[in-house]
Structure 1
Amino acid sequence: MAEVKHVSIDTPIEEILNIIDEDAGVIIDDYLDSDQIASIKNDLEPYLATTRKGKDQFTGFETKRVGALMARSETCQQLALDPMINQMAASFLEPYCESYQLHFTSAIEIGPGESSQILHRDRGVWGGYIPRKIETQFSTVWAINDFTKENGATQLVPGSHKWDKNRQPEIDEIAYAEMKAGSVFIYTGSVLHGGGTNSTDESRLGVFLHYAPSWLRQEENQYLSCPPEVAEKFSPELRSLIGYSKGGYVLGFFSDPNDKEGKLESVSPEKIFGESKDKFESLATPENLVKESTK
C-alpha cells in the first residue's frame, strides 16, 4: 500500500525537496501550535457558517470552500509568508521563473457524507498547454483538524508526476495524507490527487495555500479578493507575494489612469503603495533580454 512520507520540522530542506522530487508529496508533522490552529478556526468560522456547499461532484456536494484568506485571516497571512515554506517554494519553482506568487487560497471543509473527488492534476487549471517539464505549482495543505482516511484526507498517488498522463493508478498505489492537526501536507501541481471520502459524522478542515510562477495567471484573482484598499494594510512582503509586484522586467507593470503628472506611468505595482522597491527596474542589456526570451 502506498504511503505519504512524514518528516519533522527540523528535517533539512534539501531532504524534504528530495522526497518531493521522488514522490511529489510529503507531510511535515506538527508545524503549527495550538494557538495558531485556534486562531485560524476563529477567523474562518463566520465564513464557513454561511458559505454554500459545492454545486457539482468536483467541488463536492457536501464540501464548503472559503477564499480570500489573505484578507480574512492574519494567521493565514503568516502561513503564506512562512520562511521555510517559501524557501522550499523558491527552490522548487524558480528553475522555471524569475519569481513566484501566491496562486490560490482556500479553506476547504469536507463534510460528512462527501464522496471522493476524481483524481486530477492541479496543473490542468491552465488547460494542459504548459509542457510537463515545467513545474507549475508548489502546494500546501494545512490541517486545521486531524486528517484521516475516514474523514476525507487528501488522496495522493506518489510518483504519478512521472507517469504517462493516461495511466490510472491501482488501488494500492493510492495513499492518504493522514496527519494530525497543525501538520502541513506539501504536494506539486503534477501529481494525481483528490479529496477523500468522509464517512464520519465530523467535518475535515484544511487551509490550502498554493504557489506558482509569476508569469502564470493565478487561479484565485488576488486583485479582486484583496483589492488595493485591502492590500494597503498588508506588509510589503505579502503584497508582493500576492501579485502587487512585477514578475519580470516588464511583466505586470501598471499606469494610474488618474495620474496627470507622469509619476505612476508604466511602473511596478509597489509604487501605488508609496514603495520604491522594484527588483526588476534595471535591465542589464537589451541583448540579454532577447537572449533570455527563449530557454
Structure 2
Amino acid sequence: MGSVGETILDAQERMKREGWCVIPDVIGPEHTQKVLDELWSVAGSASQRGEDTFLPFLDPNASNVRVFYLLEHAIFRELIQHPTALHMVKSVLGQQFLISNFTANVARPGSKSMGLHSDQSLVTPDPWTRVEAMSVVWCLTDVYFENGATLYVPGSNKWQRRSDISKNAKTNLKPFEAKAGSIVVMDGTVWHTSGANVTKDQDRALLFAYYTAPHLRQQVNWTRKLSKEVQESLSPEMEEWLGLGVAANLGEAILHLKYLDDQFAEEGGSSNANTAAAFAKSSHSR
C-alpha cells in the first residue's frame, strides 16, 4: 500500500503547483460499471419525468447528456463521501466545506465543447486570490482526447482576474486523460471546458462532485431537493456538508471568536471557541 500513499502525496503536491491531479484506480472495474449503469438508469427516469438532460446554454447540441441531483440516490451519496475524495477536499479547502452540487455529463459521439470557465469564477467575483471551490471528477469510462476529455489551460490556476485570461487560451488547451475508476481533482481556479467527442461509438461519462468553502452558498438547495426520507438517513457529517443543520456559516467564528477579556491575552479564548464548536456540533445532532 506504500505506492498508494506516495500517489496521494504526489497528488497533493501537484494540486499546490498546478491546481489539478489525477488519482488512478480509486474504485474497481465492477464498482465503476455499477455506478455507470445506475447513472443511465437515473438519466432514463429523469427523461421520463420530463426533466431536461440537455441544456442549450451549456452545450452546443444534445449529444451531451446532463444528469442533475445525483445525491437523491444512495450509490452517489456513497461516492461523494469516498475517503480518497474527502482526503483531497480537506487538503485543499480545510476541514470545513460544503457539498455544493453533484452532476453528471456524458459526452456522446458528436458532442462539442461548452464555454471556457473556472468553477470558482461562476460563484465568486474576481479577484480570485485563494481557492474556495473544487471538483472531484469521477471517470466512469476511459477518458481521452478523442472521446471528449475535459480540456484545461495549464497555468490558469494563477489567473486572478478575467483580464488575465490568455487570448490564445483556446490553442493552449490540454486534456485530462485517465482510466475508468480514476478521479481527476481540480481546484476551482483552473480554467477548463468539456472536450469534443469525435469518436463514432465511444461515450465519455464523468461525474462532477463540487465542493466549496463553507461561506459560499450552494448551487443546490438540498433542504428542498432531498426527500425527508433521504435527509433522515444521513449521517451528522453529511448533514453538515450538505448544509442541512440549524447552524450556518459559523466557520470563522468557531476559529477566532473569543471573550473580550481573553482576546488580547497571550493565551486564552479557547473556552469560547470550544463553546461555538459545541453549538455547531449539537445543531447537527438528531
- Within 5 Å, which residues of 2 pair with 1:142-153? 142-153=138-149
CA contact (8 A) 1:142 1:182 kept: yes
Q: Which residue of 2 aligns with 1:198?
A: 197
Q: Which residue of 2 aligns with 1:105?
A: 102
Distance 1:195 1:286, change over 3 A: farther
- Within 5 Å, which residues of 2 pair with 1:182-197? 182-197=181-196
* Counterpart residue type for residue 128 of structure 1: P
CA contact (8 A) 1:53 1:60 kept: no
- Within 5 Å, which residues of 2 pair with 1:39-118? 39-49=34-44, 50=47, 52-61=52-61, 62-72=63-73, 74-94=74-94, 99-118=96-115
Q: Which residue of 1 aligns with 2:284?
A: none
CA contact (8 A) 1:125 1:219 kept: no
Distance 2:55 2:23 in 1: 32
Q: Which moved more, 1:47-56 or 1:63-72?
A: 47-56
* Counterpart residue type for residue 190 of structure 1: T
Normalised by the length of structure 2, the TM-score is 0.77
CA contact (8 A) 1:137 1:189 kept: yes
CA deviation vs aligned residue, 1:114-150 (integer Å, no higher than 9, x gap)? 1112211111222525x41131212111001111111
Greater helix proportion: 2
Q: Which residue of 2 aligns with 1:237?
A: 237
Distance 1:59 1:171, change over 3 A: closer
Distance 2:83 2:53 in 1: 33
Matched, 1:26 2:21: yes
- CA positional deviation for 1:227: 4.0
Identity level (%): 25
Over the residues paired in the alignment, what is the CA RMSD in angstroms? 2.9
CA contact (8 A) 2:119 2:134 kept: no
Q: Which residue of 2 aligns with 1:226?
A: 226
Normalised by the length of structure 1, the TM-score is 0.75
Task: Name the count of aligned residue pairs.
Answer: 251
Distance 2:239 2:221 in 1: 13
* Counterpart residue type for residue 215 of structure 1: H
Distance 2:172 2:244 in 1: 41
CA contact (8 A) 1:29 1:180 kept: yes
CA contact (8 A) 2:104 2:208 kept: yes
Distance 1:236 1:178, change over 3 A: same
Matched, 1:138 2:134: yes
* Counterpart residue type for residue 243 of structure 2: G
Gaps of 5+ in 1: 1-7, 252-278
SS in 2 for 1:232: helix
SS in 2 for 1:109: strand
Distance 1:146 1:9 in 2: 20
